Amino acid sequence: MNARWGDEVYARALAALAGDGAVSGPIGLGSGAWTRTFARYTPGPDPIGTIAFQRDGSAADIVVLAVHASRPADPAALALPGPHRAGWLLARRFPDDPRLPGLAAVMAGPGRRTVVRYRPGRGCTIRVEDGSATRFVKVLKARADGARMHRDAVALAAAATAGRLGFAVAAPDRFDPATCALWQDALPALRREAGTVLARIEAGRERAPERPLRPLHGAAHAGQ
């Protein structure tokens, strides 16, 4: 790919990817509202971009798209809308991520597992709620030095406990080499705050009087 032609291809792909509809239409995201949660564009060899969409209100309903300038060999590739062959899309469903091989196993564990932050191919932070316990797990790339990161986290937590930092640090739990994942507890303050908010919501529901539904623009009227 010569530089000028490569720049033109990249520019066409960016123009086609500016609107979510041009992407969500061809791949058929399905019902409900979806939000673009991640996008990275890198001119050069394919893929030239990565985009992630998450269904609004879902814990982990995510679709990741690889953007290619040239048509991939995979028959599942779809043409990106736009003139002059703007590009091609290959979709995969979370938690399938070749660069995070432990992600699927972590997501399949017990308890409610909600994606907090996902960067395709780079890392994923997940909140795990199992009974009254809340923990966080970060799945790392296969070659990441998770054992060293865990040792650093233990030293940081010890310094916080000794009062040398002036701020709280979540207690590290463990590093799991099988899934290349770091586990840690939630901050106590975060657990208390979440419990307080939920209690207030439930109390408000109990106090709120029942009212008939009506349209947002005013009271209900005949013929609606």
Q: What is the pTM of this model?
A: 0.74
Structure tokens at 182: 């770091």
Task: Examine the fold and report which residue of 69, 93, 117 is the final residue of a domain before the chain moves on.
Answer: 93
The answer to whether residue 16 is domain-embedded is yes
The answer to whether residue 221 is domain-embedded is no
Write the CA distances from 48 to 12, 87, 124, integer angstroms.
12, 9, 21
pLDDT of residue 43: 77
The answer to whether residue 84 is domain-embedded is yes
Q: Looking at the structure, do residues 69 and 132 belong to the same domain, yes or no?
A: no
The answer to whether residue 150 is domain-embedded is yes
Q: Looking at the structure, do residues 159 and 66 belong to the same domain, yes or no?
A: no
CATH number of the domain within which 110 lies: 3.30.200
Q: Looking at the structure, do residues 112 and 199 belong to the same domain, yes or no?
A: yes
| Count of Cβ atoms closer than 10 Å to residue 161 Cβ | 12
pLDDT of residue 195: 47
Average pLDDT of each block of 10 consecutive residues along the chain (224 residues)?
A: 55 68 65 82 84 87 88 86 75 93 95 94 94 91 89 92 86 94 82 50 55 44 45
Structure tokens at 19: 């609107």
Q: Looking at the structure, do residues 88 and 116 belong to the same domain, yes or no?
A: no
Domain that holds residue 79: 3-20+27-93
Q: Looking at the structure, do residues 197 and 168 belong to the same domain, yes or no?
A: yes
Q: How many domains does the chain have?
A: 2
